[in-house]
Structure 1
Amino acid sequence: MPANPRPSVVIGFLGTTLDSGKGAGRWEKWRPSVALCQQEDRVIDRFELLIVERFRSLAEYVAQDIRSVSPETQLNLHALDLGDPWDFESVYAALHEFASTYPFEPEHEDYLVHITTGTHVAQICLFLLTEARYFPARLLQTSPPRQQRAGDPGTASVIDLDLSRYDRIARRFSHEQAEQADFLKAGIATRNPAFNTLIERIERVALRSNAPLLLLGPTGAGKSALARRIYALKHARHRLDGPLVEVNCATLRGDQAMSALFGHRRGAFTGAQSERQGLLRAADGGLLFLDEIAELGADEQAMLLHAIEEGRFLPVGADQEVASRFQLIAGTHRDLRSEVAAGRFRDDLYARINLWTFRLPGLAERREDLAPNLDFELERFAREQGSRVCFNTEARRRYLAFGSDPATPWRGNFRELGASITRMATLADGGRIGEVDVDEEIQRLRAQWQMPQTNDGLDALLGSEAAQLDRFDRVQLAEVVRVCRAAPTLSAAGRELFAVSRQGKAQPNDADRLRKYLARFGLDWGRLQAGEGSE
Structure 2
Amino acid sequence: MKKNVVIGFIGTQLDARFGAERWERWRPTVALGMHEDFVVHRMELLIDMRRGARLAKQIAADLAQVSPETEVCLHDTYIANPWDFESMYGALHDFCARQSFDPEHEDYYAHITTGTHVAQICLFLLTESRHLPGRLLQTSPPRARQDVAGAYSIIDLDLSKYDRIAQRFEQQQQEDRSFLKSGIATRNAAFNTMIEQIETVAIRSPAPMLLMGPTGAGKSQLARRVYELKRQRGTVSGAFVEINCATLRGDGAMSALFGHRKGAFTGAVSERAGLLRSADRGVLFLDEIGELGADEQAMLLRAIEDKRFLPVGSDREVCSDFQLIAGTNRDLGREIASGGFRDDLYARLNLWTFELPGLAARREDIEPNLDYELERYERSTHQRVRFNVEARERYLRFAMSADAQWPGNFRDLGASVSRMATLAVAGRIQVDGVDAEIARLRRLWRSADAPAMAADVDFEALLGERVAELDRFDRAQLGDVVAVCRRSRNLSEAGRTLFAASRQTRRSTNDSDRLRKYLARFGLSWSDVTVS
Question: TM over 0.5: same fold?
Answer: yes
Report SS of the residue matched to 1:429.
Answer: coil
Q: Distance in 2 between matches of 1:390 and 1:351?
A: 47
Report SS of the residue matched to 1:382.
Answer: helix
Q: Does structure 2 retain, via aligned residues, the 8 Å contact 1:27–1:150?
A: no
Aligned to 1:97: 97
| Residue 75 of structure 1 pairs with residue 68 of structure 2 | no
CA RMSD of aligned residues (A): 3.2
Q: Does structure 2 retain, via aligned residues, the 8 Å contact 1:91–1:125?
A: no
Given residue 285 of structure 1, which amino acid in structure 2 is its aligned partner? Answer: R
| Residue 364 of structure 1 pairs with residue 363 of structure 2 | no
Which residue of 110, 114, 129 maps to 2:111? Answer: 114
- Aligned residue runs from structure 1 range 377-396, under 5 A: 377-396=373-392
Compute the displacement of 1:166 (Å): 3.1
Q: Distance in 2 between matches of 1:19 and 1:364?
A: 71
Aligned to 1:497: none
Report SS of the residue matched to 2:426.
Answer: helix
Given residue 286 of structure 2, which amino acid in structure 1 is its aligned partner? Answer: L
Given residue 222 of structure 2, which amino acid in structure 1 is its aligned partner? Answer: L
- Aligned residue runs from structure 1 range 436-455, under 5 A: 436-450=432-446
Q: Does structure 1 retain, via aligned residues, the 8 Å contact 2:49–2:77?
A: no
Q: Does structure 2 retain, via aligned residues, the 8 Å contact 1:265–1:317?
A: yes
Q: TM-score, normalised to structure 2's length?
A: 0.76
Q: Distance in 1 between matches of 2:29 and 2:191?
A: 54
- Aligned residue runs from structure 1 range 287-366, under 5 A: 287-366=283-362
Aligned to 2:50: 57
Q: Does structure 2 retain, via aligned residues, the 8 Å contact 1:82–1:94?
A: no
Aligned to 1:508: none
Report SS of the residue matched to 1:430.
Answer: coil
Q: Distance in 2 between matches of 1:17 and 1:276?
A: 60
Residues 74-110 of structure 1 deviation map (CA, whole Å, 9 limit, x = unaligned)? 32123569899624974674355245x24x3754x55
Report SS of the residue matched to 1:235.
Answer: helix
Compute the displacement of 1:44 (Å): 3.6
Q: Does structure 2 retain, via aligned residues, the 8 Å contact 1:11–1:47?
A: yes
Q: Distance in 2 between matches of 1:179 and 1:314?
A: 41
Compute the displacement of 1:115 (Å): 2.3
Q: Does structure 2 retain, via aligned residues, the 8 Å contact 1:8–1:112?
A: yes
The 3 A distance-change label for structure 1 pair 42 and 361 is: closer
Compute the displacement of 1:168 (Å): 2.4
Given residue 366 of structure 1, which amino acid in structure 2 is its aligned partner? Answer: R
Q: Distance in 2 between matches of 1:83 and 1:185?
A: 53
Q: Distance in 2 between matches of 1:166 and 1:14?
A: 31
Q: Distance in 1 between matches of 2:103 and 2:395?
A: 69
- Aligned residue runs from structure 1 range 191-210, under 5 A: 191-210=187-206
Q: Distance in 1 between matches of 2:409 and 2:290?
A: 20
The 3 A distance-change label for structure 1 pair 452 and 306 is: closer
Given residue 62 of structure 1, which amino acid in structure 2 is its aligned partner? Answer: L
Which residue of 162, 173, 185 maps to 1:166? Answer: 162
Compute the displacement of 1:16 (Å): 5.8
Compute the displacement of 1:395 (Å): 1.0
Residues 508-530 of structure 1 deviation map (CA, whole Å, 9 limit, x = unaligned)? xxxxxxxxxxxxxxxxxxxxxxx
Compute the displacement of 1:407 (Å): 2.6
Q: TM-score, normalised to structure 1's length?
A: 0.75
Residues 403-448 of structure 1 deviation map (CA, whole Å, 9 limit, x = unaligned)? 1111321011011111111111111011000111111111111111
Aligned to 2:139: 142
Aligned to 2:246: 250
Given residue 155 of structure 1, which amino acid in structure 2 is its aligned partner? Answer: A
Structure with the greater alpha carbon radius of gyration: 1
Given residue 113 of structure 1, which amino acid in structure 2 is its aligned partner? Answer: A
Residues 361-416 of structure 1 deviation map (CA, whole Å, 9 limit, x = unaligned)? 00011011000000000111111211111111111111111111113210110111
Report SS of the residue matched to 1:70.
Answer: helix
Q: How many residues align?
A: 445
Q: Distance in 2 between matches of 1:162 and 1:255?
A: 54
- Aligned residue runs from structure 1 range 442-521, under 5 A: 442-450=438-446
Compute the displacement of 1:57 (Å): 2.6
Aligned to 1:429: 425
- Aligned residue runs from structure 1 range 184-263, under 5 A: 184-263=180-259
Residues 146-171 of structure 1 deviation map (CA, whole Å, 9 limit, x = unaligned)? 69x69845322233556555332222
Q: Distance in 2 between matches of 1:295 and 1:162?
A: 46
Compute the displacement of 1:134 (Å): 6.2
Q: Does structure 2 retain, via aligned residues, the 8 Å contact 1:110–1:137?
A: yes
Q: Does structure 2 retain, via aligned residues, the 8 Å contact 1:95–1:125?
A: no
Aligned to 1:265: 261
Q: Does structure 2 retain, via aligned residues, the 8 Å contact 1:82–1:90?
A: no
Given residue 176 of structure 1, which amino acid in structure 2 is its aligned partner? Answer: Q
Q: Distance in 2 between matches of 1:228 and 1:62?
A: 60
Q: Distance in 2 between matches of 1:392 and 1:167?
A: 45
The 3 A distance-change label for structure 1 pair 234 and 20 is: farther
Q: Does structure 1 retain, via aligned residues, the 8 Å contact 2:89–2:122?
A: no
Q: Distance in 2 between matches of 1:195 and 1:355?
A: 19
Compute the displacement of 1:144 (Å): 3.2
Q: Does structure 1 retain, via aligned residues, the 8 Å contact 2:10–2:56?
A: no
Further displaced range: 39-48 or 63-72: 39-48
Aligned to 1:523: none
Further displaced range: 235-244 or 122-131: 122-131
Given residue 72 of structure 2, which amino acid in structure 1 is its aligned partner? Answer: L
Compute the displacement of 1:22 (Å): 8.0
Q: Does structure 2 retain, via aligned residues, the 8 Å contact 1:37–1:69?
A: no
Percent identical among aligned pairs is 61
Any unmatched runs of 5+ in structure 2? 450-499, 503-532
Report SS of the residue matched to 1:198.
Answer: helix
Q: Does structure 1 retain, via aligned residues, the 8 Å contact 2:89–2:119?
A: no
Aligned to 1:526: none
Q: Distance in 2 between matches of 1:270 and 1:335?
A: 37
Compute the displacement of 1:132 (Å): 7.0
Report SS of the residue matched to 1:211.
Answer: coil
Aligned to 1:524: none
Any unmatched runs of 5+ in structure 1? 454-468, 472-535
Given residue 196 of structure 1, which amino acid in structure 2 is its aligned partner? Answer: N
Residues 3-53 of structure 1 deviation map (CA, whole Å, 9 limit, x = unaligned)? xx87543222344665567899988976533443455765544211135xx
Q: Does structure 2 retain, via aligned residues, the 8 Å contact 1:247–1:290?
A: yes
Q: Distance in 2 between matches of 1:16 and 1:293?
A: 61
